Amino acid sequence: MLKEKVCVNGSVLMKKPNMFRWDMVKPDKSIMVIDGEMMTIYHPDIKEAQIFNLSGNLIASNTVKFFTTTLWGSLSEMEKKFSVTMFRRNSEIVFKLVPLSKIVGRYVSSLLIYYDEKTGVPQGFETITPKGEKTITRLSNIKINPEIEKDLFKLKLPEDVCITNNQEQQQDENNGYDY
């Protein structure tokens, strides 16, 4: 369990149905980009990256399904993957999601998503592991439906970047589980 609070600063862009970009600048710089077909995780400070073909890697594709279902899925979509409870806390509506999948349950015991009561805009989320460890993410400067260039979901890596995963590793990691 973490002994001290870690604050992560960065920005997130999402475009339905399956495009996602997370630029983290603090404490360590990294970029995660999902373009619907590929997921790339790039660590520029150490010049390393991992690239996953979503159609050929169950872990990567299930990560995308998890994000799309929890962050912008409809309630009926959420209920296919989670037991959903809703309640009010302060000026927020909270969705508590408990994974129905035993596989996901090994890593996440619940996920709380906080929505502004007046606008319905997500304000943050909290992930709780089976060991009781919490990761709390608060969102700010949220823009609803901004124009987003599709090129932002493509990541061109510099030539000197080392790709640290390969197809054999991906096949070993894929053991047929679907979240």
CA distances from 105 to 98, 128, 138 (A): 8, 10, 23
Instruction: Answer positive or negative: Cα dihedral of 71, 76, 82, 83.
Output: positive
Which pLDDT band holds residue 4 (cuts at 50, 70, 90)?
low
For tokens 């070993």, what's the residue? Answer: 172
Quick one: tokens of 56? 């050929």
Query: Residues 106-124: pLDDT tens digits?
Result: 888 998 988 889 988 888 8
Domains and CATH numbers, the chain: 9-141+149-173 (2.50.20.10)
pTM of the predicted structure, to 2 decimals: 0.66
Quick one: tokens of 36? 């619907």
CA-CA distance, 148 to 171, in Å (whole number)?
Answer: 33
End-to-end CA separation in angstroms for the chain: 25
Residue 90: exposure state from Cβ atoms within 10 A (0-12, 13-18, ≥19)? exposed
Residue 169, pLDDT above cutoff 50: no
